[in-house]
Amino acid sequence: MSENSPYTPEEVAKILKISKFTVYEMIKRGDLAAYHIGRKVRVDAHDLDLYIQKSKGTGPAQLLQTAPAPIPSGFIICGQDTVLDILTRYLEKELPKISVLRNYVGSMDGLLALYHNTANVATSHLWDGDTDTYNLPYIRSLLPGHRAVLINLVYRNIGFYVAKNNPLNLTIWQDLAKPGVRLINRERGSGARVLLDEQLRKLDIDFSSLNGYDNEETSHLTVASTVARGDADVGLGIEKAALQVANIEFIPLRKERYDIVIRKEDIDKPHFQTLLAVLRSTAFRDQIAGLGGYDTVHTGQVIGQT
């Protein structure tokens, strides 16, 4: 193929004469390299060519059994926090010849993208209830056999979003099980969902007893908005989102560590050294601190390795 412009999944489906749902499954498994621009999925012509070349000589039943695709052109960062929008702008300025792209996925999906070699950087705030630590236990499980480096991005306060004046007096995890309390949850794989599930497990609270446990939103802002509209009594999210939505209060529960995760073999490469330089710069840290709701005391510091 000679076109240089990226394809949509629908266009890929027409070219390969398969359904668009099959294309999405190929991308999800890492068989076909893809990236996100906002919430839109795109496939580079080069990566589609590469997939077709690898598939030549196989029968239809074997078509999807190719090796994981290489990272597409560009520098792909997984994560949803607003801080990553600012980080992306800094990197675009420092790396003008590189496309810096965002993949708006939760912590688990980001780590899996790093494992499948379809992202350069993941972000994570996954709390492990058995060790009371963030990220390392999950990275060891989701990136088996791979060495990784954790670099702190920020610390954030996480807690309940409730109506003004907290009329139901929801202040601790056990309060979610009060009769009549309506929860709005986050999607599976997000850090907030993992934190909730781990707390329920440790407190021996059956998640099926929570009213609204299966009702999901995909961002802190939409969870906060749901509570503000009165469609739920409580949701879990970060303080920053509470500052952006009227008619709710924020009940802090804990400070969480939000880290950047990269493969250890990448850390000395020029693009990743630029990433570290931006994270450690006074300008970046001051801009993040100015947003409110973030603690930058360890921003840019290596927190751990696997």
User: What is the tens place of the pLDDT at every residue in 200-224?
Assistant: 999 999 999 999 999 999 999 999 9
Among 42-46, 102-106, 243-247, 249-253, which stretch is predicted with the lowest mean pLDDT? 42-46
* Mean of pLDDT values over 86-114: 93
Q: Would you kindly state where each structural domain of the chain is located, as residue ranges?
A: 9-62, 157-255
Cβ-Cβ contacts under 8 Å for 236 (sequence gap 6 or more): 158, 159, 160, 161, 185, 186, 192, 195, 196, 223
- Confirm if 54 and 45 have CB atoms less than 8 A apart: no
Q: Virtual CA dihedral for 89, 283, 221, 161, nearest 10 degrees?
A: 170
User: What pLDDT does 60 receive?
Assistant: 41
Angle at 270 between CA 70 and CA 36, to 5 degrees: 40
Options 1.10.10.1150, 2.60.200.20, 3.40.190.10, 3.40.140.10; CATH for 157-255 is 3.40.190.10
Res 21: pLDDT:
67
Q: What is the pLDDT of residue 62?
A: 41
Full-model pTM: 0.74
